[in-house]
């Protein structure tokens, strides 16, 4: 049994971690913290957990995280980097669902996140927690940087193409759309349904924090620097990310469908759809699955990949549980055998 703690369990990601871990056969939640909700029953804040969890939120300083085998950080950027060193010194493993350890260039991280990094010495050790790319390294990791939601959808979509080569590395385009929950559980006018309903817009066109993370990972896969245009959009739905990706082929023709099917054949949480399909976000809502379709429109030289995930599951909490399973020698799919919600 893996005893786990959750720092910052009141946001959407924390709530999703609770939902998944409450029914996990080999996980026991030993502590969950919140400065604003300390002393309140978890099931009072999240009624869907009533009867599944008999826990109260604790003050972060009072929570017994040192007694845990693993601590998840479902916190804003900048929290894990202050608390992780002491936990690691105590023999506790850490999975950070924020961005504190994702970028290997500390100066770049400080530029994009607007604060000094508190433990840059740990950045090199942190394993980027995309199992489809770093499964063996995750198994032995003390510290895992859980990927962002956009980076997960985009990276999995491009992965087979970049591994195979034969694409123009200077011409990669990611046109991505996210539901409202990606902005977090906070009161903001821009997140009100009256503001976003019946509307659709791009944002952060001149630069999004996930851009350097995506580019870093794609460059690692390609073993060369890539040129990436990444434009995120906000759509009036609660959950889901759809990434439409474009790459230009070079050299000899390739059977794209076969390439993708072979690359992901053994992956429990990537589903390559039949040729001609168009994956929908609703098909993965509530599940830890990435669904992908690949096409070459009109037989031209541009490849179009469609990649969909639930941003709170495969894009956050579900992937974190997948990483936990790997770190503790459990079945990778344990606790994640989830069917998407329909309608």
Range of the domain at 162: 150-311
In this structure, are 274 and 231 located in the same domain?
Answer: yes
Below-50 pLDDT ranges, the chain: none
CA distances from 167 to 21, 35, 163, 247 (A): 40, 49, 10, 7
Question: How far is Cα 322 from Cα 343, in angstroms, rounded to an integer?
Answer: 26
Is 331 among the domain residues?
no
Give the neighbor-by-neighbor strand order of the sheet with 2-7. Answer: 27-33, 2-7, 70-73, 93-96, 143-145, 127-128
State pTM to two decimals.
Answer: 0.96
List, for residues 172-194, the tens digit of each pLDDT value. Answer: 999 999 998 877 766 677 777 77
Active-site residues, by number, are 149
Q: CATH code at 23?
A: 3.40.50.720
In this structure, are 157 and 98 located in the same domain?
Answer: no
Is 336 among the domain residues?
no
Q: What is the pLDDT of residue 25?
A: 97
5 in helix, strand or coil?
strand
Is 340 among the domain residues?
no
With vertex at residue 196, the alpha carbon angle to CA 193 and CA 200, rounded to the nearest 5 degrees, is: 150
In this structure, are 165 and 271 located in the same domain?
Answer: yes
Tally the domains of the chain.
Answer: 2
In this structure, are 10 and 46 located in the same domain?
Answer: yes
Q: CATH code at 198?
A: 3.30.360.10
Residue in 59, 32, 35, 60 with CA at minimum distance from that of residue 46: 32
In this structure, are 160 and 256 located in the same domain?
Answer: yes
Is 238 among the domain residues?
yes
In this structure, are 41 and 173 located in the same domain?
Answer: no
Buried/exposed 180-206: b ≥16 CB within 10 Å, e otherwise? bbbeeeeeeeebeeeebeeeeeeeeee
List, for residues 59-99, the tens digit of each pLDDT value. Answer: 888 789 999 999 999 999 999 999 999 999 999 999 999 99
Beta strands in the chain (DSSP E): 2-7, 27-33, 70-73, 93-96, 127-128, 143-145, 167-178, 201-202, 228-234, 241-249, 270-272, 290-295, 302-309
In this structure, are 242 and 297 located in the same domain?
Answer: yes
Q: What is the pLDDT of residue 252?
A: 80
Is 156 among the domain residues?
yes
Is 328 among the domain residues?
no
In this structure, are 37 and 161 located in the same domain?
Answer: no
In this structure, are 271 and 163 located in the same domain?
Answer: yes
Is 141 among the domain residues?
no
């Amino acid at each position: 049994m893996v005893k786990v703690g959750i720092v910052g369990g009141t946001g959407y990601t924390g709530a999703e971690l609770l939902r998944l871990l409450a029914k996990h056969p080999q996980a026991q939640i030993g502590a969950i913290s919140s400065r604003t909700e300390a002393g309140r029953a978890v099931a009072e804040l999240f009624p869907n957990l009533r009867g599944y969890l008999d826990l109260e939120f604790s003050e972060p300083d009072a929570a017994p995280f040192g007694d845990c085998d693993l601590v998840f950080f479902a916190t804003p950027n900048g929290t894990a980097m202050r608390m992780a060193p002491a936990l690691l010194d105590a023999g506790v493993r850490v999975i950070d669902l924020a961005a504190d350890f994702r970028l290997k260039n500390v100066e770049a991280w400080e530029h994009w996140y607007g604060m000094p990094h508190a433990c840059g010495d740990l950045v090199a050790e942190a394993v980027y927690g995309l199992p489809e790319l770093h499964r063996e390294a995750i198994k032995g990791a003390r510290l895992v940087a859980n990927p962002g939601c956009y980076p997960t959808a985009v990276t999995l979509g491009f992965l087979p193409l970049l591994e195979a080569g034969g694409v123009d590395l200077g011409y990669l385009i990611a046109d991505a759309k996210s539901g409202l929950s990606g902005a977090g559980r906070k009161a903001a006018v821009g997140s009100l349904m009256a503001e976003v309903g019946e509307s659709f817009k791009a944002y952060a066109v001149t630069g999004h924090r996930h851009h350097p993370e995506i580019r870093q990972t794609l460059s690692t896969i390609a073993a060369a620097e890539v040129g990436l245009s990444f434009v995120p959009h906000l759509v009036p739905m609660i959950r889901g990310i759809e990434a439409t990706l474009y790459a230009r082929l070079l050299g000899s023709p390739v059977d794209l469908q076969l390439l993708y099917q072979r690359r992901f054949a053994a992956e429990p949480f990537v589903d390559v759809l039949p040729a001609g399909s168009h994956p929908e976000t609703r098909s993965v809502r509530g599940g830890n699955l990435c669904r992908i379709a690949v096409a070459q429109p009109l037989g031209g030289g541009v490849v179009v990949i469609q990649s969909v995930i639930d941003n709170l599951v495969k894009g956050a909490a579900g992937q974190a549980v997948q990483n936990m399973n790997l770190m503790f020698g459990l079945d990778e799919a344990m606790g994640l055998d989830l069917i998407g919600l329909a309608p």
